């Protein structure tokens, strides 16, 4: 008869397969696998850093380029506004019937010969920046009294001519010590002030029509080559502006030329050359 209490308990000594499988899954990486992983990660980091540097440089060029374009637009808008009025003469009432006549108070830029000019300039010595003068008569406020003290005209600095002063004279020049484009306005007691910074060159050419009927075909001269300022019918202005950032290198094979055809310095600053031509509405010729 079987007696369970008399049968000895037999324990199994076979290892547990489940525990071995778990231990096998938890084993670490070998040295080779670790080195391969680190190398791949290092390449990814280097690629990310290179992409960041390139993106930063590109962003700097785009930002500087946009600022230079806006600066050039502001300069040409100021100069063009006054060139469009060069030689303008105010109209004054002639009688009570509404007739008007041209004012006889406009003087413009005069010279020893007694002539006056709407446009006048000087050539910079040894390729230095030029100067540009623009003159026109101030426009009276319709409600101005007869003493001609109230006007709606403003010069390049935004100032109104004062007192009996009839002309609005604007003189543009470049301060090479500070790279500021300066303007001397109509008020004699107001010194020249900066209207834009970061301007390295300011060159002006003056256009004379060649005489071809029906065509605006101009021949351009420097100020020193102009023989009669009354014949000027167009003005071509070239400015060279420089960006603020010094981290914009360009290719060594890329040759950039300035307003005078000179090779520009490669010092990691972004430079742009802008040229604009303005036609005179009130030509004397």
Note down pLDDT in tens along the chain; length 285 residues.
555 555 555 555 555 555 555 555 556 667 777 777 778 878 787 777 766 665 665 666 677 888 899 999 999 999 999 998 888 777 776 666 667 777 777 777 765 555 668 888 999 988 899 999 998 887 766 665 555 556 677 888 888 776 666 788 889 999 999 999 999 987 666 788 999 999 999 999 999 887 666 666 788 999 999 988 888 889 999 999 998 877 666 655 567 788 988 888 778 788 889 999 998 887 655
Residue 200 is predicted with a pLDDT of 94
Contact call for residues 173 and 167 (beta carbons, < 8 A): no
Phi/psi at 94 (5° precision): -100, -30
Q: Burial letters for 7-44: b for 16+ Cβ neighbours within 10 Å, e otherwise?
A: eeeeeeeeeeeeeeeeeeeeeeeeeeeeeeeeeeeeee
- Angstrom CA distances, 150 to 90, 142, 153, 162, 185, stand at 13, 9, 9, 8, 17
């Amino acid at each position: 008869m079987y007696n369970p209490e008399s049968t000895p308990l037999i324990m199994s000594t076979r290892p547990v397969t489940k525990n071995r499988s778990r231990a096998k899954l938890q084993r670490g990486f070998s040295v080779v696998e670790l080195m391969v992983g680190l190398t791949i990660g290092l390449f990814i980091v280097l690629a990310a850093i290179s992409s960041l540097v390139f993106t930063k440089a590109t962003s700097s060029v785009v930002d500087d380029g946009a600022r230079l374009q806006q600066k050039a637009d502001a300069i040409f808008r100021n100069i063009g506004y006054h060139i469009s009025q060069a030689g303008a003469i105010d109209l004054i009432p002639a009688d009570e019937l509404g007739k008007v006549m041209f004012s006889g108070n406009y003087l413009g830029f005069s010279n020893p010969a007694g002539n006056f000019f709407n446009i006048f300039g000087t050539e910079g010595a040894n390729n230095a920046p030029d100067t540009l003068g623009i003159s026109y008569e101030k426009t009276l406020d319709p409600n101005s009294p007869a003493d001609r003290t109230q006007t709606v005209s403003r010069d390049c600095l935004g100032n109104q001519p004062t007192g009996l002063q009839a002309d609005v004279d604007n003189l543009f020049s470049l301060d090479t010590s500070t790279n500021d484009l300066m303007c001397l306005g109509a008020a004699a007691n107001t010194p020249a002030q900066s209207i834009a910074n970061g301007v390295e060159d300011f060159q002006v050419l003056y256009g004379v029509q060649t005489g071809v009927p029906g065509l605006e075909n101009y021949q351009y001269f420097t100020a020193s080559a102009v023989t009669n300022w009354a014949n000027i019918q167009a003005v071509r202005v070239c400015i060279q502006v420089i960006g603020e950032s010094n981290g914009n290198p360009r290719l060594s094979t890329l040759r950039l030329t300035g307003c005078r055809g000179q090779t520009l310095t490669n010092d990691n600053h972004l430079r742009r050359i802008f040229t604009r031509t303005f036609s005179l509405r009130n030509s004397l010729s």
